[in-house]
């Protein structure tokens, strides 16, 4: 998003942008997980909620895969 000259302070807008512009690169489940992580982040920051280590264990591979895809997309844009 920033590489294309857009700026957003909203994580929701960033996820919506990814869904719109790179929906073919991510599965529906990955987009859902991104949004779930956004909601969890807000609960941690604003409500002091803790994230279960089990949640991290169960989703670690998916999260690492999303990071790889995002890195690939960024590198592609910068080349």
Which pTM does this prediction carry? 0.82
What residue segments make up the domains of the chain, in order of their start? 11-15+26-78
* pLDDT digit string, tens, across residues 15-72: 999 999 999 999 999 999 999 999 999 999 999 999 999 999 999 999 999 999 999 9
Q: What is the pLDDT of residue 7?
A: 78
pLDDT-derived band of residue 6, with 50, 70 and 90 as boundaries? confident
Asked if pLDDT for residue 73 goes beyond 80, the answer is yes
Separation of alpha carbons 67 and 70, rounded Å: 5
Residue with tokens 């857009």: 6
pLDDT at 78: 85
| DSSP code of residue 9 | S
Residues 68 and 28 sit within 8 Å (Cβ to Cβ)? no
């Amino acid at each position: 998003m920033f590489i294309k000259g857009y700026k957003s302070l909203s994580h929701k807008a960033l996820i919506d942008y990814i869904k719109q512009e790179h929906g073919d690169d991510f599965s529906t489940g990955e987009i859902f997980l991104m949004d779930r992580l956004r909601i969890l982040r807000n609960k941690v920051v604003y409500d002091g909620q803790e994230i279960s280590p089990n949640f991290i264990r169960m989703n670690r591979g998916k999260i690492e895969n999303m990071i790889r895809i995002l890195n690939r997309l960024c590198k592609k844009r910068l080349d």
